[in-house]
Structure 1
Amino acid sequence: MYEALHHAAVVVTDLARAKRFYGDVLGLAELPDRPAFPFPGAWYAIGADQLHLIVHEGAKTLRGTRGIDSRDGHFAIRVRDAGEVRARLDAAGWAYDDRPQSVTGWHQLFVTDPDGNVLEFNSRKSE
């Protein structure tokens, strides 16, 4: 019955600031075919799936902190090499929690976006 996770949506408060993070810092490709919704937002490609940014000032999902907490609600993006993500974050001066030898069996890297949404990037462990 269920085929795949089509997209994850996160609430942001400042679209330009969020686009700098997701597009410039992380290097995600913005999709040009977002419908003309009556609110601002942006869609990004992650492999065959999508990440949707939604501007919603009254949202109840904003954490109110940029503190990195891997146990808080988050979504994970599988990457070829978490070290590549770490290099992009280092170049931008962005804080993260890097766990190359995680007990999960893969390399995990946690970060928050400008609104405090928690993201996990994971890849095979480095040998």
Structure 2
Amino acid sequence: MQITQCLHTAILVSNLEDAEHFYSNILGLSKVERSLKYPGVWYQIGDVQLHLIVDTTLSTHLQNPEKWGRNPHVAFSIANLDDAKTKLLEHNCPIQMSASGRAALFTQDPDGNIIELSQV
């Protein structure tokens, strides 16, 4: 077997409207068309897609609430960490700076899914 590319990652969300607001308006991701019959939204990020799939019974809890990066998460490269931090705080999004000292922070979407933003 030879894996040649990552195509997408999927995140479960309980409320599609809240999730779309976070991923579209706060993170600024671009939606792509999808023709599936179950509720969700797809976003294109470079060569990879992020799929939001609705699960109204979703119950998220952190295995490690003190270190968000030690939980399942998706990581995005960003151009400016300070700008990202400012925007997240303006929208009352929780943030936790990376404990490693690198230029990265963690935030949570409305369902508590962890998102890492890393200035590379």
8 Å CA contact 1:43, 1:52 repeated in 2: yes
Would you say 1:70 and 2:66 are equivalent positions?
A: no
Query: Which blocks of at least 5 consecutive residues in structure 2 are unaligned?
Result: none
Percentage of identical aligned residues? 31
* Alignment CA distance shift 1:4-1:64 (3 Å): same
* Letter of the structure 2 residue corresponding to residue 4 of structure 1: Q
Q: Which residue does the alignment assign to 1:52?
A: 51
Query: Which blocks of at least 5 consecutive residues in structure 1 are unaligned?
Result: none
- TM-superposed CA distance for 1:64, in Å, is 3.7
8 Å CA contact 1:64, 1:115 repeated in 2: no
Task: Describe how 1:1-127 pairs up with structure 2 within 5 A.
Answer: 1-31=2-32, 33-35=33-35, 37-59=36-58, 62-64=59-61, 69-99=68-98, 102-103=100-101, 106-124=102-120
8 Å CA contact 2:75, 2:116 repeated in 1: yes
Paired residues, what number?
Answer: 116
The TM-score with structure 1 as length reference comes to 0.80
Alpha-carbon RMSD: 2.0
8 Å CA contact 1:108, 1:123 repeated in 2: yes
How far apart are the structure 2 equivalents of 1:82 and 1:6?
A: 26
